[in-house]
Chain A
């Protein structure tokens, strides 16, 4: 499909100025294409939330020395995995001080700051940013080919040969274009987060860090019986604490997410960390967690889908990443779109450079490798039985119960496994799946 001679407002329209959209705009504008970047909020990042860590190394290609200007709260140098039972906790810590120096590893950041910073780079590259504007649909010509977007503003139709949909999870544009034929609630989780304010020195003392170094704690268990997980991240003078909940389970249990957060905050392993904190913000967001199994077709004639809109979220237990996948997919979409314009072929074939790039990079290779892991992590056994089993084993191993002699570890494991109701075959099967995924 060649680009038609109709009057275009730009070469490329990018919908959504989140990490994916801004990176797409930067890449396309740097390639000399005219780009309009449309954002629904009053400024980029104003309506976005996450509770996580940004792994920005993908920015090496787009923003050299990004760490010098990126609005970081804390560089994460300590990663913890916490298994919570009803009253116990097993905490596995790892600390790498090298992560606190260039080129760094991951950082906590406020999305309104981070997204705005990234969008400013897009504007500097030449993209035209339009805020407070909602894209309401796709424009098509008489042959059904995508020709641009309509917006909620008067005189709000914009024409371009390529539209890059970075309009977030539950993408209306991907659905409208038929790339997302069906969605299944079981593929999504609901992330809810409280931002809790504490003085910086208190956070430093409680989490064992100083200066602008921070901690990332991932929690298994502690979600009141709803499949999911929890997290705690340190910002400079706030803590992000939240839970991620599987939607069908949440609906079936008829629990309110804020109630589940409140229960997590009362857990004896969590309460001392947040004592005296003041809730500054409560927010919630749907997360696409099923990885490769829920990804839409990402290329159509005149259209690409990137970021959360393309389910670019990796929820694989020890790896919980989203922003880096969004940035990478956005960047590749921008590059492929610029390439297609240069070749004067915006058909899905002309835009196939996008999927080629995704397939060759970590974006789809990681998703392929870890395809079964999200299902394993959110399974009933991993969610409910294993945390109690592990906490029970560790509790008995470390309990000194004189005058009784110490039991053997194998015996403890066997007894606790039976107590938790875990069959040996199930344990081996899950272990095999985990090894294949993580190995």
Chain B
């Protein structure tokens, strides 16, 4: 079984300008949640969407972030929720967890995850504001009316939807981004009878994909310092390194690094 993440690629307006198209923050959080869960459970993560060829840009982003497989089910960008859920459900039958965003970039009703759960007769936990992995299960917090919260433990198979605040999508590595740009995307077409047919010649070669890592939030006493840390290209980003040394050697090594990074004059001791 695998972890399947369902995302919706959206054009922000009707003029067809694909430069501004993409997925919602909630869908990004869903991708990150799916990747994290797959890593923790030693499972695979597949990202799937129903959409036109232009939607493949978002799938490539997911691939670059570490998804093991991506699938586009061919359809128009404004396929209705029931049909979208039917197409996705058919593809997700063998999934352990199906992870969706709580809302799409066009502020949809968030009904697709519920419809998928109904079609597959799975348990569902929607509108999650926190997801933690505990052993083989998920410990989640769900927002209720009146400011209340509900804590649940989910073993799966199940459908969950997450809000955008649950996780921040990791930054893809450069090499994975380059590889994803040239990777084949699996495309599944609807043959007219309602059944889905996978395009046989599009089995992708796996791109070189080193594990993506989460970039830590900037630290600094003021907002300006933090913004500078992210945007100032003239400053060194530094390199993290863990070494085991005696206290004296460690102190020397720190001084050596500070000197190499330009924080200390050559003569400073």
Contacts and interface: CB of A to CB of B under 8 A. Distances in A.
Interface stretch (B31-39, B91-99, B231-239, B244-252): B231-239
A43 B178 contact: no
A136 B237 CA distance: 8
Contacts of A43: 19
B237 A130 contact: no
A134 B233 contact: yes
B58 to A, nearest CB: 12
A36 B19 contact: no
B233 A128 contact: no
A130 B233 contact: no
A153 B172 CA distance: 7
A153 B233 contact: no
Given A46-B19, A128-B181, A154-B212, A172 B174 contact: no
Nearest to B215: A154
A172 B19 contact: no
**Which applies to chain A's interface (DSSP): helix, strand, loop or mixed?**
mixed
A152 B19 contact: no
Contacts of B178: 9, 36, 128, 130
A137 B236 CA distance: 8
B181 A154 contact: no
**Which applies to chain B's interface (DSSP): helix, strand, loop or mixed?**
mixed
Contact of A155 (B182, B210, B233, B237): B210
Given A128-B178, A130-B181, A152 B237 contact: yes
Interface residues of A, number: 26
Contacts of A153: 171-174, 177
Contacts of A42: 19
B67 interface: no
Contacts of A137: 233, 236
A304 B210 CA distance: 31
A116 B233 contact: no
Interface string B186-221: 000000000000000000000000101101000000
A363 interface: no
B175 interface: yes
Greatest chain A CB density within 10 A among B174, B176, B178 is at: B174
- A-B pairs, top 3 by smallest CB distance, nearest first, are A155-B173, A153-B174, A156-B174
Given A153-B177, A154-B172, 7 more contacts: A36-B178, A112-B19, A128-B181, A134-B231, A153-B174, A155-B175, A157-B174
Interface of B: 19, 171-178, 181-182, 210, 212-213, 215, 231, 233-234, 236-237
Interface of A: 9, 36, 42-43, 46, 112, 116, 128-130, 133-137, 151-158, 172, 175-176
24 contacts: A9-B178, A36-B178, A42-B19, A128-B182, A130-B174, A133-B174, A134-B233, A135-B233, A136-B236, A137-B233, A151-B174, A152-B233, A153-B171, A153-B173, A153-B177, A154-B174, A154-B210, A154-B212, A154-B213, A155-B175, A155-B176, A157-B174, A158-B174, A175-B234
